[in-house]
Amino acid sequence: MSSPGPSVRFSFQTKVLLPVLAALVLLPVITLWVVNRSMTKQVEAEARQTLNTAEAVFRQTIDFRARDLLTRFRYAVNEPSYRSIPVLLGSNDPLARKEISKFLGERLKDYGDDYDALIVTTPDNATHVAVRPGTTGEPSGWVGATAALTRTALAGQPVQGTLEFRGQVYLAVAVPVSDLEGAKTAGALTVATRIGEATLQELRSLTGAEILLIASDMLTASTLHQPELPALLPRMLEPDATVEIHQEHYLALSNSYDRRGAQGGFRYVLLSSYEQRLRELQSTRGTLLIVSLAGVLLSGLVVWFLIRRITLPLVELRDNAEAVGRGDFTRRITRFSDDECGAVAVAFNDMTGNLQASRADLEKAVGTLKTTQAQLIQSEKLSAVGQFVAGVAHELNNPLTSVIGFSELLQATSSNPKEQEHLGHITRNALRCHKIVHSLLGFSRQHEPERKLVRLHEVAESVLEIVSYDMRVNNVTLVREYAAELPPLLGDSHQLQQVVLNIVSNARQALETFRRDGQITNRTGDTDDRVWLRIIDNGPGISPENLKKIFDPFFTTKPQGKGTGLGLSLSYGIVQEHRGSIRAESRPGVGTEFILEFPIATPTDAAPVLFRPDSQPPMPVKAAKLRLLVVDDEESILHLVQEILSSEGHRVETAGSGQAALELILRHDYDVIISDWKMPGLNGINLFQELLVRKPEAARRMLFMTGDVIKESFQQFLKQHARTCLPKPFALREFHGAIAGIVSLR
């Protein structure tokens, strides 16, 4: 029997060193794998979020372009030249068609390269197409491509949409064209503008992403010019696709633009490069690998020389390394000696300290990014709401004028006390609506900073008018304690309103969850050379540590998404610009008081121009019967004014546009000419300037009225020409007083 071979024996140091070395190699590998996987997912998530943000900006920009195109041509078709086209088309006269071609060709030339086709269609399907030179497609093809939009417009409804034609994507709108009398729809105007590479380059600068347009399953336009794009297109249309283009990695997002309320649609692909992030990730992996290898080598040497001393410290090192692998960068190793083992502990602590600092910086950067993104979203929402409110409020003034005027007319003629009471309710509530509309117009419009004489209690009251309903439904009582005679200050009323609104809104939000019998008091007064406003609430108050920071930018105690922390910071800046001061006093559990102080205006400060006197205007002089002309594009206003003046025996004529009024004034003499300021075509100012040249005595008899906010430029115009403007809505006494003032100047 052969003797057994010699067995392999390992020293104790080798037995310990090999497992320890294996562990030291394995741990960094696991750490690298975990960190690499986590960072890879984070890179992809950030790139996807960037791509989603780019898509939102892309769709909003396309929506804005479509709305802007529709708005432009809804007003353009009111021109007499457009209204006459359906009549010329219906005549089947070759000369008429030639005239139409010339007109539409000149319009395309005036519009520049932004528009590709103008199509006019009558209800009996007579059409005329004008195409910009160089645009593809036969006229008949354009008619067929836009047929759906045209049918909607012929039904009297403006419509916007997109269409694919001849391998291109177009934004298109169709608007109804009224007949020459404006009584009915006589045709439709359809406009198409191509979304080409120039447009995509503009969108690329806004979104930060590469953009591809797809028409008929083919690539029609792109901000990238690489030959492999058509071949990669099917891949890019897949969900969550990633593609490599010219050795650069992109995330792809494909979708269809199919906006509700519009017609048509098209497909698009957005590409966001994350190549730079991948390279940074690779660099980080290399650095971690080098650091890990160095740590393994150093630890192996230490274990080989100091097995017994290093055994227990290695356990501690392993435990802390595992914690770091799980993301706990707060772990530290106690320096247990002054030799190499102690150096390992110091190196490990430095590494985790650096990682902890890096993560803190990253979290801070991500927090700042989220805050900025929330501010941008909130700013866009406020801008959109402001534009909507301004448009609605302006449009309400004309019907409010009719409601107030006709209700006062009925009051003057009715002998039934019950009807008188009901009509009084109508008038008072309509005037209340007017005050709210006026305040909303002031808040929603953007104003250049201007300094005028304003009274602090009027600023506070304009804010309370807007928030009064919100306060009532939230069980908050508004208390007004205004000084009887308060000197004015020199300031911008809109900026000061924003300050008061910020403070009152914060108080309401604090009271909402604190108590059911909330109260906000606005108190004004003056001391020496300053006027002050105190806004006091009985809410939960502000803690002393937070009270020191309430005016700091981005400081807020509200939950995420409920506030940006900029309201009081901006308010502080506005007050400082007005040479004033703002401070807060608070007692937790009792309430908070904000004190605003401003210097009183000096006698040299300019006084504001007043357009509606505080005193009651005189009743009209009825001794003489007058001949009057009323000019307004609102039929209800024309009917109201005609009823008021005709009932007093005056001879009243009306005109629905400035051009029609000019023709009447040049043929006849009128004692008073009442004209709206803002009208399509020849507006009130243009009419006045025409009369100054052609019939000056008629210009001196003009009385303006408007439902819009009177701007600074229009105030200067009224002051320069010594004219009066009556704001809508107006009461009968104000209307009679304004006419009496014009008659007294003859």
Q: pLDDT tens digit string along 396-424?
A: 776 777 777 777 777 777 777 777 777 77
Domain boundaries, the chain: 77-193, 199-273, 452-599, 627-744
Higher-pLDDT residue of 361 and 264 is: 361
Q: Give the pLDDT mean for 497-502.
A: 90
- The confidence score (pLDDT) of residue 456 equals 93
Report the helix count and the strand count for the chain, using DSSP H and E: 21, 22
Q: What is the mean pLDDT of the chain?
A: 79
Distance of alpha carbon 622 from alpha carbon 640, whole angstroms: 19
Q: What is the value of pTM for the model shown?
A: 0.38
Q: What is the dihedral of CA 97, 100, 101, 102, to 10 degrees?
A: 120
Distance of alpha carbon 162 from alpha carbon 51, whole angstroms: 23
Q: How far is CA 210 from CA 49, 50, 58, 143, 202, in A?
A: 15, 12, 11, 33, 11
Closest by alpha carbon to 701, among 686, 717, 721? 721
Sign of CA dihedral 727, 732, 737, 738: positive
- Is residue 127 very low, low, confident or very high in pLDDT (cuts 50, 70, 90)? confident
CATH superfamily of 77-193: PAS domain (3.30.450.20)
Asked which of 78-82, 150-154, 521-525 is least confident by mean pLDDT, the reply is 78-82
**Residue found by looking up tokens 């939230």 in the block:** 474
- The confidence score (pLDDT) of residue 596 equals 95
Distance of alpha carbon 225 from alpha carbon 201, whole angstroms: 12
Please calculate the CA angle 557-563-565 and round it to the nearest 5 degrees.
Answer: 70
Reply yes or no on whether the pLDDT at 593 is more than 90. yes
- The confidence score (pLDDT) of residue 6 equals 53
Query: Residue 628: what are its φ and ψ, rounded to 5°?
Result: -125, 150
- The confidence score (pLDDT) of residue 364 equals 79
Higher-pLDDT residue of 746 and 531 is: 531
Q: What confidence tens digit (pLDDT) does each residue in 73-83 have?
A: 888 888 887 87
Reply yes or no on whether the pLDDT at 231 is more than 70. yes
Which of the listed ranges 64-78, 461-475, 587-601 does the model predict with the highest average pLDDT?
A: 587-601
- The confidence score (pLDDT) of residue 138 equals 75
Task: Dump the DSSP string for 32-78.
Answer: HHHHHHHHHHHHHHHHHHHHHHHHHHHHHHHHHHHHHHHHHHHHHTT
Reply yes or no on whether the pLDDT at 704 is more than 70. yes
Work out whether strand 672-676 and strand 627-631 pair parallel, antiparallel, or are unpaired: parallel
Q: What's the token pair of residue 53?
A: 């943000």
Distance of alpha carbon 178 from alpha carbon 318, whole angstroms: 84
Residues 401-436 as b/e (b if ≥16 CB within 10 A, e otherwise) read bbbbbbbbbebeeeeeeeeeeebeebbeebeebbee
Q: What's the token pair of residue 192?
A: 């198409």
Q: How far is CA 601 from CA 410, 582, 610, 733, in A?
A: 45, 18, 18, 33
Asked which of 266-275, 308-317, 678-687 is least confident by mean pLDDT, the reply is 308-317
Distance of alpha carbon 428 from alpha carbon 419, whole angstroms: 14
Reply yes or no on whether the pLDDT at 681 is more than 80. yes
Beta bridge partners of 675: 631, 704
Q: Give the pLDDT mean for 190-218.
A: 86
The CATH architecture that domain 627-744 belongs to is 3-Layer(aba) Sandwich (3.40)
Reply yes or no on whether the pLDDT at 489 is more than 70. yes
- The confidence score (pLDDT) of residue 25 equals 76
Higher-pLDDT residue of 351 and 450 is: 351
Task: Dump the DSSP string for 61-129.
Answer: HHHHHHHHHHHHHHHHTTSHHHHHHHHHHHHT-HHHHHHHHHHHHHHHHHHGGG--EEEEE-TT--EEE
Q: What confidence tens digit (pLDDT) does each residue in 254-271 have?
A: 888 875 545 567 888 988
- The confidence score (pLDDT) of residue 371 equals 65
Closest by alpha carbon to 586, among 559, 561, 568, 598? 568
Reply yes or no on whether the pLDDT at 622 is more than 80. no
Q: Give the pLDDT mean for 481-498.
A: 89
Reply yes or no on whether the pLDDT at 321 is more than 80. no
Asked which of 328-337, 493-502, 655-664 is least confident by mean pLDDT, the reply is 328-337
The CATH class of 452-599 is alpha beta
